Amino acid sequence: MVGAVIGKDQINNMLTALAVNLRDISQQIVNLSLLVNGQGQGEDYLAGIGFDDTPNPANPGGVSDAAWALALISYLNTVAAVYFGTAAQPGAFNFNQELSQIWAGQVS
Protein backbone atom coordinates (compact mmCIF):
# COMPACT_ATOMS: atom_id res chain seq x y z
CA MET A 1 0.00 0.00 0.00
CA VAL A 2 1.24 3.45 -0.89
CA GLY A 3 0.35 6.42 1.27
CA ALA A 4 -0.68 6.79 4.87
CA VAL A 5 -3.97 5.76 6.36
CA ILE A 6 -5.78 8.59 8.08
CA GLY A 7 -6.73 7.75 11.63
CA LYS A 8 -9.35 8.96 14.06
CA ASP A 9 -7.09 11.58 15.62
CA GLN A 10 -6.24 13.11 12.24
CA ILE A 11 -9.94 13.27 11.32
CA ASN A 12 -10.73 14.88 14.68
CA ASN A 13 -7.96 17.45 14.14
CA MET A 14 -9.15 18.17 10.61
CA LEU A 15 -12.75 18.64 11.78
CA THR A 16 -11.66 21.04 14.51
CA ALA A 17 -9.39 23.04 12.20
CA LEU A 18 -12.01 23.32 9.47
CA ALA A 19 -14.77 24.33 11.90
CA VAL A 20 -12.59 26.98 13.54
CA ASN A 21 -11.42 28.30 10.15
CA LEU A 22 -15.00 28.51 8.87
CA ARG A 23 -16.05 30.39 12.00
CA ASP A 24 -13.12 32.78 11.75
CA ILE A 25 -13.58 33.45 8.03
CA SER A 26 -17.30 34.01 8.54
CA GLN A 27 -16.53 36.55 11.25
CA GLN A 28 -13.99 38.30 9.00
CA ILE A 29 -16.68 38.58 6.31
CA VAL A 30 -19.17 40.07 8.79
CA ASN A 31 -16.52 42.54 9.95
CA LEU A 32 -15.79 43.59 6.35
CA SER A 33 -19.47 44.09 5.67
CA LEU A 34 -19.87 46.20 8.80
CA LEU A 35 -16.80 48.26 7.91
CA VAL A 36 -18.06 48.99 4.41
CA ASN A 37 -21.80 49.18 4.90
CA GLY A 38 -22.32 49.67 8.61
CA GLN A 39 -23.99 53.02 8.11
CA GLY A 40 -25.92 51.92 5.03
CA GLN A 41 -23.73 53.96 2.69
CA GLY A 42 -21.49 51.18 1.38
CA GLU A 43 -21.31 52.27 -2.21
CA ASP A 44 -20.45 55.85 -1.19
CA TYR A 45 -17.82 54.52 1.23
CA LEU A 46 -16.23 52.38 -1.49
CA ALA A 47 -16.22 55.30 -3.93
CA GLY A 48 -14.63 57.44 -1.24
CA ILE A 49 -11.71 55.04 -0.86
CA GLY A 50 -11.04 54.79 -4.59
CA PHE A 51 -13.58 52.47 -6.25
CA ASP A 52 -14.94 54.07 -9.41
CA ASP A 53 -18.60 55.03 -9.13
CA THR A 54 -19.31 55.37 -12.85
CA PRO A 55 -20.92 52.53 -14.82
CA ASN A 56 -18.41 49.97 -16.05
CA PRO A 57 -19.48 47.74 -18.97
CA ALA A 58 -16.88 45.15 -17.86
CA ASN A 59 -18.91 44.45 -14.68
CA PRO A 60 -22.05 42.30 -14.62
CA GLY A 61 -24.99 44.52 -15.52
CA GLY A 62 -22.58 47.34 -16.32
CA VAL A 63 -22.62 48.56 -12.72
CA SER A 64 -19.86 50.70 -11.26
CA ASP A 65 -16.84 49.13 -9.59
CA ALA A 66 -18.13 50.40 -6.24
CA ALA A 67 -21.54 48.77 -6.79
CA TRP A 68 -19.93 45.52 -7.96
CA ALA A 69 -17.61 45.36 -4.93
CA LEU A 70 -20.59 46.03 -2.65
CA ALA A 71 -22.55 43.22 -4.33
CA LEU A 72 -19.66 40.81 -3.79
CA ILE A 73 -19.42 41.81 -0.13
CA SER A 74 -23.16 41.23 0.13
CA TYR A 75 -22.85 37.72 -1.36
CA LEU A 76 -20.13 36.86 1.12
CA ASN A 77 -22.07 38.39 3.99
CA THR A 78 -25.13 36.30 3.13
CA VAL A 79 -23.05 33.13 3.36
CA ALA A 80 -21.65 34.26 6.72
CA ALA A 81 -25.13 35.19 7.98
CA VAL A 82 -26.43 31.75 7.04
CA TYR A 83 -23.50 30.23 8.92
CA PHE A 84 -24.26 32.30 12.03
CA GLY A 85 -27.99 31.57 11.78
CA THR A 86 -29.02 35.18 11.26
CA ALA A 87 -30.25 34.66 7.69
CA ALA A 88 -31.65 31.96 5.47
CA GLN A 89 -31.07 31.54 1.77
CA PRO A 90 -34.59 30.90 0.50
CA GLY A 91 -33.73 29.77 -3.02
CA ALA A 92 -30.92 28.17 -4.91
CA PHE A 93 -28.09 30.61 -5.57
CA ASN A 94 -24.64 29.52 -6.70
CA PHE A 95 -22.36 31.63 -4.51
CA ASN A 96 -19.37 29.65 -5.76
CA GLN A 97 -20.10 30.58 -9.38
CA GLU A 98 -20.83 34.22 -8.53
CA LEU A 99 -17.63 34.66 -6.50
CA SER A 100 -15.53 32.75 -9.04
CA GLN A 101 -15.40 35.96 -11.04
CA ILE A 102 -12.93 37.42 -8.54
CA TRP A 103 -10.77 34.36 -7.92
CA ALA A 104 -8.08 35.84 -10.19
CA GLY A 105 -7.42 32.43 -11.69
CA GLN A 106 -6.88 30.77 -8.29
CA VAL A 107 -8.64 27.49 -8.96
CA SER A 108 -7.74 24.49 -6.88
Is residue 1 pLDDT above 80, yes or no?
no
Domain membership flag for residue 107:
no
106 within a domain of the structure (yes/no): no
Q: pLDDT: is 3 or 1 the higher one?
A: 3
- In a domain? residue 108: no
Q: Lowest-confidence range among 2-11, 14-23, 41-50? A: 2-11
* Secondary structure class of 70 (helix, strand, coil): helix
Q: Is residue 73 part of a domain?
A: yes
User: Per the structure, how many domains does the chain have?
Assistant: 1
Give the model's confidence band at 70: pLDDT under 50 very low, under 70 low, under 90 confident, else very high: very high
- Has residue 3 been placed in a domain? no
- DSSP string across 15-56: HHHHHHHHHHHHHHHHHHHHHHHTTS-HHHHHHHTT---SB-
The average pLDDT across 41-59 equals: 97
Q: Domain residues for 73?
A: 8-99
Positive or negative: CA dihedral 5, 8, 11, 17:
negative
